[in-house]
């Protein structure tokens, strides 16, 4: 089978790596890919958002199956366009992708189908939102969210009315996130511990993936700015025994994942793909913060190395509405990944520095997933904020993390930064 993976980050490198182990994959392409492709896939210089060009490539290269990494092409309807042309796609349709692409859609959906989530108010006009902020109902802190996709930046937590009014202006008046801010969701602030759970869905059924925890803040001790993720580990210590029945996971699957998949099917939007639930585990149980309709990054980089099953088979059967397996088989081992980033990330950073030591690092048994890299004059150079994910399996978290940090010592590029406390328990 000829397979095309869409996207250019560490998540997509992990997908390409795992798919390359499948016997049924005869040829792998990756659009646009990154500098880590060399041993697995042929890179194709097309952005996943250029759907006509992707469609043309699929037809001319006789691609059998397309696996979509990021949410943007899904929001643009890549599934629907390729499907019309008879090309199989892993990822939800544009209508089903609303679960990530419209917070208003998801909040109304949760209310209708009794899916536990924060209480909320929705506004289409900034004046009405500002009036609400002054009302008795407004108990601070409140969380203000732009309706649409905002590259992870459209959520603002406000301690008082002044901050909240500023957030309304940023989102709805200044339109910092463009059309994503045409509507606003104002949410009750939930307290508890955050967790995320990913499930493979076939439109009617779901299977939970191994659990994972990511590290969102830039600096050790969970300090500094929010980032796309500076590291991850699987399983999540919150569900440490995720192979056996875990009551919290069972509740999340029943009340959030399965209820969503069934209600989407009843509404005519079969959800096929990865449903990623960002959750707050509150005193009253797990509540949904947000859905993503794709694999998490960097969670995927620690989840896929722990999956025993053939990934192509899993993804294909989900996309065909035909998940036959009862569970996804998981390795006992833990997996840890540490992100090597460019100095300055997540703010300003420079690119184009040569990366050394990659081969030596791989010889230690670590798995190097490239993120922001590219090949230039036969060298691998930095090409983004998050540059590499250094992943390793181990019998314990400690063994896995030690392997990551040993491998990391062999890698270098100008301005390399990383957190030193990934998977460290004190
Ligand atoms: P979201 O993109 O909706 O997941 O929001 C991004 C982050 O904002 C989450 O990971 C939480 O840390 C925080 N957040 C979102 N909604 C809430 C809420 N209702 N209560 C508390 N924190 C929240
Ligand atoms: N790691 C969070 C995300 O993929 O959205």
Q: Total domain count for the chain?
A: 4
Q: Whose CA is nearest to atom 5 of ligand 2?
A: 296
Question: Do residue 199 and residue 286 come from a single domain?
Answer: yes
Same domain, 258 and 301: yes
Ligand 1 center from residue 126 Cα (angstroms): 21
Ligand nearest to the CA of 300: 2
Final residue before a domain boundary, out of 263, 287, 319 = 319
Report the pLDDT value the prediction gives residue 238, as an integer from 0 to 100.
Answer: 87
What percentage of the chain carries pLDDT values higher than 90? 92
Is the pLDDT at 421 greater than 90? The verdict is yes
Is residue 25 situated within a structural domain? Answer: yes
Of all ligands present, the nearest one to the C-alpha of 140 is 1
Secondary-structure breakdown of the chain: helix, strand, coil percentages, each rounded to the nearest 5: 30, 30, 40
Q: Are residues 228 and 294 in the same domain?
A: yes
Residue 297 lies in a domain: yes
Q: With respect to residue 38, please indicate whether it lies within any of the assigned structural domains.
A: yes
- Other CB atoms within a 10 A radius of the CB of residue 56 amount to 13
Is the CB–ligand 1 distance for residue 180 below 6 Å? no
Report the pLDDT value the prediction gives residue 240, as an integer from 0 to 100.
67
Q: Span 38-47, mean pLDDT?
A: 92
The predicted structure's pLDDT at residue 324:
84
Per the listing, tokens 């996943």 go with 48
Q: Which of 133, 118, 292 is nearest to 199 (CA)?
A: 292
Could you read off the pLDDT of 266-284 as tens digits, one per residue?
999 999 999 999 999 999 9
How far does the centroid of ligand 2 lie from the alpha carbon of residue 14, in Å? 14
Asked if residue 80 is part of any domain, the answer here is: yes
297-304 average pLDDT score: 98
**Same domain, yes or no: 144 and 202:** no
| 86 found inside a domain | yes
DSSP letter (8 states) at residue 356 = B
Whether 119 maps to a domain, the answer reads no
Q: Are residues 168 and 244 in the same domain?
A: no
Q: Percent of the chain at pLDDT above 70?
A: 99
Extended strands (E) in 151-307 = 155-158, 184-188, 193-202, 206-208, 213-214, 217-219, 223-226, 231-234, 272-282, 285-292
Determine, yes or no, domain membership for 326: no
Pair (372, 311) in one structural domain: no
10-32: per-residue pLDDT in tens? Answer: 999 999 999 999 999 999 999 99
pLDDT recorded at residue 47: 97
Task: Band the pLDDT of 325: cuts 50, 70, 90.
Answer: confident
Ligand 1 centroid, distance to 103 Cα (angstroms): 12
User: Where residue 75 sits, what CATH number does that domain have?
Assistant: 3.40.50.20
Positions of E strands within 366-410: 367-370, 373-376, 379-382, 386-394
Domain boundary among 161, 182, 203: 182
**CATH number of the domain where residue 386 is located:** 3.90.600.10
CA-based end-to-end distance of the chain: 47
The first and second tokens of residue 280, run together, are 């707050």
Q: How confident is the model over 41-56, as a mean pLDDT?
A: 97
What are the Cα distances from residue 114, in Å, to 224, 262, 308, 359? 36, 12, 35, 51
Among 47, 78, 94, identify where a domain stops: 94
Ligand 1 mutation pick, 120, 143, 215, 294, max ligand atoms within 8 A of CB: 143
Neighbours of 338 (CB within 10 A): 29
Candidate from 119-128, 143-152, 200-209 with smallest mean pLDDT: 143-152
CA 392 – CA 385 distance, rounded (Å):
21
Q: What is the average pLDDT value for the chain, to the nearest integer? A: 95
Same domain, 174 and 243: no
Domain that holds residue 255: 193-319
From the CA of 229, how far away is ligand 1's center (Å)?
Answer: 15
pLDDT in tens, 51-84: 999 999 999 999 999 999 999 999 999 999 999 9
The answer on 340 and 312 residing in a single domain is: no
Please tell me if the CB atom of residue 141 comes closer than 6 angstroms to any atom of ligand 1: no
Q: Are residues 211 and 312 in the same domain?
A: yes
Mutate to test the pocket of ligand 2, among 214, 231, 279, 337 (most ligand atoms within 8 A of CB): 214
Strand (E) or helix (H) holding 12: helix 10-19
Angle, CA 151 vertex, CA 312 and CA 259 arms, to 5°: 55
* Cβ atoms of 275 and 291 closer than 8 Å: yes
Examine the domain organization and report whether 141 and 78 are in the same domain: no
Q: Note whether residue 55 is domain-resident.
A: yes
pLDDT score, position 326:
85
* 198, 312: one domain: yes
Confidence at 241, pLDDT banded by 50, 70, 90: low
CB under 8 A, 24+ apart: contacts of 86-89: 87/55, 87/58, 87/59, 87/63, 88/64, 88/316, 88/319, 88/320, 89/65, 89/319
Residues 296 and 365 in one domain: no
Q: Mean pLDDT across the stretch 366-376?
A: 97
Confidence of residue 194 (pLDDT cuts 50, 70, 90): confident
Ligand nearest to the CA of 301: 2
For CA atoms 161, 162, 163, 169, give the dihedral sign.
Answer: positive
pLDDT bucket at 244, cuts 50 / 70 / 90: low
Q: Which CATH number goes with the domain that contains 201?
A: 3.30.470.20
């Amino acid at each position: 089978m000829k397979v095309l993976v869409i996207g250019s980050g560490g998540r997509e490198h992990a997908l390409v790596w795992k798919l390359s182990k499948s016997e049924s994959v005869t040829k792998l392409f990756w659009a646009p890919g990154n500098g880590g492709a060399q041993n697995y896939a042929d890179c194709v210089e097309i952005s996943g958002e250029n759907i006509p060009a992707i469609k043309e490539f699929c037809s001319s290269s006789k691609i059998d199956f397309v696996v979509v990494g990021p949410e943007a092409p899904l929001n643009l309807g890549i599934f629907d366009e390729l499907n019309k042309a008879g090309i199989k796609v892993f990822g939800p349709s544009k209508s089903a992708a609303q679960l990530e692409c419209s917070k208003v859609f998801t909040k109304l959906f949760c209310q209708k189908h009794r899916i536990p989530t924060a209480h909320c108010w929705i506004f289409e006009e900034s004046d009405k939102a500002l009036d609400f902020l002054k009302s008795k109902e407004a108990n601070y802190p409140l969380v203000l969210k732009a309706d649409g996709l905002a590259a992870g930046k459209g959520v603002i937590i406000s301690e008082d009315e002044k901050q909240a009014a500023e957030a309304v202006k940023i989102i709805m008046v200044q339109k910092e996130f463009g059309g994503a801010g045409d509507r606003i969701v104002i949410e009750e602030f939930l307290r508890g511990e955050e967790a995320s759970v990913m499930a493979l869905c076939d439109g009617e059924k779901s299977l939970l993936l191994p659990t994972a925890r990511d590290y969102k803040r830039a600096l050790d001790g969970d300090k500094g700015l929010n980032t796309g993720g500076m590291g991850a580990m699987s399983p999540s210590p919150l569900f440490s025994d995720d192979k056996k029945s875990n009551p919290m996971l069972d509740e999340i699957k029943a009340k959030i994942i399965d209820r969503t998949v069934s209600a989407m099917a009843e509404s005519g939007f079969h959800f096929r793909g990865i449903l990623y639930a960002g959750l707050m585990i509150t005193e009253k149980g797990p509540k949904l913060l947000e859905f993503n309709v794709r694999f998490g990054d960097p969670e995927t980089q620690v989840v896929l190395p722990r999956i025993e099953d053939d990934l192509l088979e899993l993804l294909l059967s989900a996309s065909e509405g035909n998940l036959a397996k009862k569970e996804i088989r998981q390795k006992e081992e833990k997996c840890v990944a540490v992100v090597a980033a460019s100095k300055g990330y997540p703010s300003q950073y420079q690119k184009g520095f040569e990366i050394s030591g990659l081969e030596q690092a791989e010889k230690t048994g670590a798995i190097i997933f490239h993120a922001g890299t590219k090949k230039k004059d036969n060298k691998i150079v930095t090409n983004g904020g998050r540059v590499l994910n250094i992943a390793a399996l181990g019998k314990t978290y400690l063994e896995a993390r030690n392997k990551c940090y040993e491998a990391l010592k062999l890698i270098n590029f100008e301005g390399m930064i990383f957190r030193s406390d990934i998977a460290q328990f004190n």
